């Protein structure tokens, strides 16, 4: 036994001591911190959490927070919104507010940012929301039925795309094989007006002025317009003369989006 120990000691003495030292190119991992936020675990660097000195997260990372909670694994526990914390952490990592398209929880995120003492983030969220609201213009749609006063049915929309889609739909539901949307119905890129109607046993018919070619019934035309409005996210805000029951019989319909 003594012979073996002596031999091992001799071999160790011949080992280059530099081999026992960490390589100069070896990067030592920074101190990592695991946080439990509302049941969601996040692992990040201590310096990330300490980006804003004096903030809630800086005090948690440096263990300066009085009365801090810990979970069963010994990780700091924060009783806040777990899923939203990823946006907090991304801001600390990048210095930018990056939210997914269609994000709808800005109000909640502002309160989270304020709780963590991140005023810069809170202001960035508010600015993001102000920009989003100012860029989201309200779209108006109006359907006025004056065919009994020989003024026809007029559809106006502040979004020209809706009018173009309605034109295409009229061609699709037409009882005749139209080559395209009749120009006599077009007023502008924002409006169409269907002027010529003939009453029949099957209902009021929309026809072409020149030869009375049957296009579709008035009820079908209004129904398709209303359904397209709902499918494209419009909300009905007013209806005039709805005493007849169905909204397709109303004289005036007003929508917004």
CATH at 131: 3.30.710.10
- In this structure, are 131 and 144 located in the same domain? no
- The model's pLDDT over 181-215, given as tens digits with 9 standing for 90+, comes to 999 999 899 999 998 899 888 789 999 988 889 99
Number of domains in the chain: 2
- In this structure, are 37 and 62 located in the same domain? yes
- In this structure, are 159 and 82 located in the same domain? no
Average pLDDT over residues 11-39: 64
Output the pLDDT for position 11.
Answer: 56
Are the C-beta atoms of residues 181 and 170 closer than 8 Å to each other? Answer: yes
Number of CB atoms found within 10 A of residue 180's CB = 8
- pTM of full prediction above 0.75: no
Are the C-beta atoms of residues 110 and 94 closer than 8 Å to each other? Answer: no
- In this structure, are 120 and 216 located in the same domain? no
Residues in the chain: 257
- The model's pLDDT over 149-166, given as tens digits with 9 standing for 90+, comes to 777 899 999 999 999 999
Query: Could you give the angle at which helices 85-94 and 106-115 cross, rounded to 10 degrees?
Result: 70
Range of the domain at 77: 32-135
The closest alpha carbon to 38, from 71, 74, 73, 87, belongs to 71
Output the pLDDT for position 26.
Answer: 47
Domain contains 1: no
- The model's pLDDT over 102-137, given as tens digits with 9 standing for 90+, comes to 888 999 999 999 999 999 999 999 998 887 766 657
- In this structure, are 56 and 114 located in the same domain? yes
Q: Using 50, 70 and 90 to split pLDDT, how confident is the model at 16?
A: low
Are the C-beta atoms of residues 13 and 5 closer than 8 Å to each other? Answer: no
């Amino acid at each position: 036994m003594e012979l073996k120990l002596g031999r091992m000691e001799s071999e160790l003495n011949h080992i280059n001591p530099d081999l026992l030292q960490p390589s100069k190119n070896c990067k030592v991992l920074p101190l990592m911190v695991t946080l439990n936020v509302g049941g969601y675990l996040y692992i990040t660097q201590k310096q990330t959490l300490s980006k804003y000195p004096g903030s809630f997260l800086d005090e948690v990372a440096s263990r300066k927070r009085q009365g801090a909670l810990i979970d069963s694994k010994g990780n700091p526990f924060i009783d806040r919104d777990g899923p939203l914390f990823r946006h907090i952490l991304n801001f600390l990592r990048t210095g930018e507010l990056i939210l997914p398209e269609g994000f709808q929880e800005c109000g909640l995120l502002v309160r989270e940012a304020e709780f963590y003492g991140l005023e810069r983030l809170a202001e960035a969220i508010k600015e993001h929301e102000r920009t989003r609201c100012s860029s989201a213009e309200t779209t108006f749609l109006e359907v006025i039925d004056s065919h009994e006063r020989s003024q026809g049915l007029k559809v106006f929309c502040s979004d020209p795309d809706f009018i173009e889609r309605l034109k295409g739909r009229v061609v699709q539901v037409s009882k005749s094989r139209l080559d395209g949307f009749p120009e006599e119905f077009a007023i502008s890129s924002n409006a169409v007006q269907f002027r010529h109607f003939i009453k029949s046993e099957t209902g009021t018919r929309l026809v072409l002025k020149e030869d009375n070619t049957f296009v579709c019934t008035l009820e079908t035309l209004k129904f398709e317009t209303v359904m397209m409005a709902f499918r494209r996210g419009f909300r009905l805000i007013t209806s005039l003369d709805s005493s007849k029951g169905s909204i397709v019989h109303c004289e005036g319909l007003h929508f917004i989006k």
